[in-house]
Structure 1
Amino acid sequence: MVPELSVVIPMYNEEEVLPLLVERLRPLLDGMGTSYEVVAVDDGSRDLTAALLQRYHREWPALRVVRLRANAGHQAAISAGLVSALGDYVVTIDADLQDPPEIIPRMLAAARDDGVDVVYGVRNDRSTDTWFKRVSAQAFYKLIGLMSQTPAHADAGDYRLMSRATVDAINSLPEHNRVLRFIVPALNFPSDTVEYKREERAAGDSKYPLLKMVKLSLDSLTGFSTAPLRLATFAGFGGAVLAVLLVLYTLISRSQGHTVAGWTSTVAIVAGVGAVQLVCVGILGEYIGRMYGHMQGRPTYFIAYDSMTADSGAHGPTDTPLPAQPNGAAIRTAPGATEPVAEPGHAPEPQPSQLRG
């Protein structure tokens, strides 16, 4: 039976906090009166996390264990959990208990009552974080917002509830090194927020040291903005203007006899060639930016309802984008059929049995 709720928890060397997490999470989910599963993603832990998960799995049937072959990183572990989750609603939460699991019922109630696809857990009190972390986070989110126009909340991390339509949309994206705290807001699905106080880490050490935070920042910046590429364009045009002014200055200086032989031509040639190079680099940056956006493959829209699909008797709206084929055809499953059929205008490939006949 498909559960209504899935809770995805990425884990890396969490043997100290894992018993505390199970002690708080299991009674909470059992008391919610809804079917659920817990998807624990072991991100290549080197301690006893894997063994403890197997023990708890035998005692707790709703606990699923997904183990990655090697440490792939926090965001990759969450992505693996989203692919594995089966619930109609999916919650992502870290294992360190800084984000209290007791907020999950409020998130689910908000999604049901308001009919939204995403409910963000927003920290209204971050006094447990260091001053540097609070200030750097605020500055980073403002920078990303200015450069990419992505409406990500500065106090919302990876603690969120998502509908099945949202999870399917995320799983359909082909890009690597995804940063979900910006991808989810970029989808612009209807959303709501639930506030909570951020707590101290229950046990163990932080898995996000400064170097990993810097890498996450770089992935976020390059994954959601082409502004760094456009710096070359602006520099190119600015350099061209300066080159023109410099050439005018050399000509005026030469006419007034303030130059030595060969100085005017040398400065003019260097300035002109430099300006052309900067403009060319800027143009290349614009094309690379377009290729970069195309390679990300993010759909420009998601269909939430189609009257033709509803009238034909198909169950549920078509929220997941259709996979694009090499020839540009979109493959969909016809209502009542078990095999995919090609869209009009694209003939399906012959099957081996047809070739033999």
Structure 2
Amino acid sequence: MGPCKLLSVIVPLYNEADCIQIFFPQLASVLSRLDCAHEILLVNDGSQDETGQVIDRLCAEYQNGRSIHLAKNKGKDGAVQIGLGAARGDAAVIIDGDGQHPPELVAQMLAIREQDDVPIVSGVKSRPTGAEEHAWISWAYLNFFSWVTGIDVKHSTDYKLVDRVVIDKIMEFQGNFVFFRALIKKFNFAERELAFVVQKRVSGSTRWSFLSLLRLAVSSLWIHLRLRKQLAAQEQRPSSAWSPAGSAQRQNG
């Protein structure tokens, strides 16, 4: 991979008004020290708190920021897909807005991308920590999904760098997908892993519960079965352009 000239950083947000006010300046400070230009895409996933107003203010104050507002909650993975569709960069990093993904790793991800010539650099949890609320629920969900589908996502996270070739591949799919980590694995692109310790949230507590993760598990498995058919069909026809049909959105910045 050649040097990245523009990096898109996508931050999906749902009811994270307090967190993003603290995390955004930290992220912006780290990105300002990179050797490449950058943009930050804050995707408001139909939040019911003040997230929308907060990110509009942050992006008005920061010239490299853009806010994207979804009319309805699409789920984290749907918000990620919308963000990727709006990204202008040669590569994109997906990072949580609650501070649990250390932004200092972005520079290492870029270095691995260029030095190892790989289109995907995935952040993986180095070890369980007390920083992850309801960690046992997440562990059970990821292990169950891996066992049923044969796609190993047990230690993976959404903290990833993906090159433009991967972004374009994702954009071939119509509509939203449910499980970003599994979709990336299905493409069989070369990948490197970068271990990190999950940090404590900068504010508040997680919105995930046992019931919400159970619903996600069921929907993820259903989408996985549909995805297998779609991937097989795509191998037999030219790539088609992707458009976020039905996902009403507004962009600022």
* Max Rg structure: 1
Matching residue of 2:149: 148
Which letter maps to 1:172? E
Q: Cα gap change, 1:43/1:194 in structure 2, threshold over 3 Å: closer, same or farther?
A: same
Q: Tell me whether 1:294 sits opposite 2:229 in the alignment.
A: yes
Is the 1:8–1:92 contact (alpha carbons within 8 Å) kept by the matching residues of 2?
yes
Q: Cα gap change, 1:298/1:51 in structure 2, threshold over 3 Å: closer, same or farther?
A: farther
Is the 2:132–2:198 contact (alpha carbons within 8 Å) kept by the matching residues of 1?
no
Matching residue of 1:101: 103
CA offset digits 1:101-151 (Å, max 9, x no partner): 1111111111111010111101112212569633x4444434433432323
CA offset digits 1:176-197 (Å, max 9, x no partner): 4421110001111000011110
Matching residue of 2:164: 164
Matching residue of 1:200: 200
Q: Tell me whether 1:219 sits opposite 2:219 in the alignment.
A: yes
Q: Distance in 2 between matches of 1:131 and 1:16?
A: 17
Matching residue of 2:240: 323
* Structure 1 residue 297 displacement after superposition: 6.3
Q: Distance in 2 between matches of 1:204 and 1:131?
A: 11
Aligned-residue identity in percent: 26
User: Which runs of 5 or more structure 1 residues have no equivalent in the other structure?
Assistant: 226-290, 303-320, 325-357
Q: Distance in 1 between matches of 2:148 and 2:216?
A: 16
Which letter maps to 1:16? D
* Structure 1 residue 204 displacement after superposition: 2.2
Which letter maps to 1:56? L
Give the length in aligned residue pairs. 238
SS in 2 for 1:36: strand
Q: Distance in 1 between matches of 2:190 and 2:85?
A: 21
- The farther-off stretch of 52-61 and 139-148 is 139-148
Matching residue of 1:44: 46
Q: Tell me whether 1:15 sits opposite 2:17 in the alignment.
A: yes
Is the 1:12–1:45 contact (alpha carbons within 8 Å) kept by the matching residues of 2?
yes
Q: Distance in 2 between matches of 1:67 and 1:198?
A: 27
Q: Cα gap change, 1:116/1:161 in structure 2, threshold over 3 Å: closer, same or farther?
A: same
Matching residue of 2:113: 111
User: Which runs of 5 or more structure 2 residues have no equivalent in the other structure?
Assistant: 242-253
Matching residue of 1:184: 184
Q: Cα gap change, 1:139/1:69 in structure 2, threshold over 3 Å: closer, same or farther?
A: closer
Q: Distance in 2 between matches of 1:78 and 1:155?
A: 19
* Structure 1 residue 164 displacement after superposition: 0.4
With normalisation by structure 2, the TM-score equals 0.85
Q: Distance in 1 between matches of 2:234 and 2:160?
A: 22
Superposed CA RMSD: 2.5
Matches within 5 A, 1:1-357: 4-128=6-130, 133-134=135-136, 136-152=137-153, 154-174=154-174, 176-225=176-225, 293-294=228-229, 299-300=234-235, 322-323=239-240
Is the 1:182–1:220 contact (alpha carbons within 8 Å) kept by the matching residues of 2?
no
Which has the larger share of strand?
A: 2
Q: Cα gap change, 1:3/1:60 in structure 2, threshold over 3 Å: closer, same or farther?
A: farther
Q: Cα gap change, 1:50/1:146 in structure 2, threshold over 3 Å: closer, same or farther?
A: closer
Is the 1:3–1:86 contact (alpha carbons within 8 Å) kept by the matching residues of 2?
no
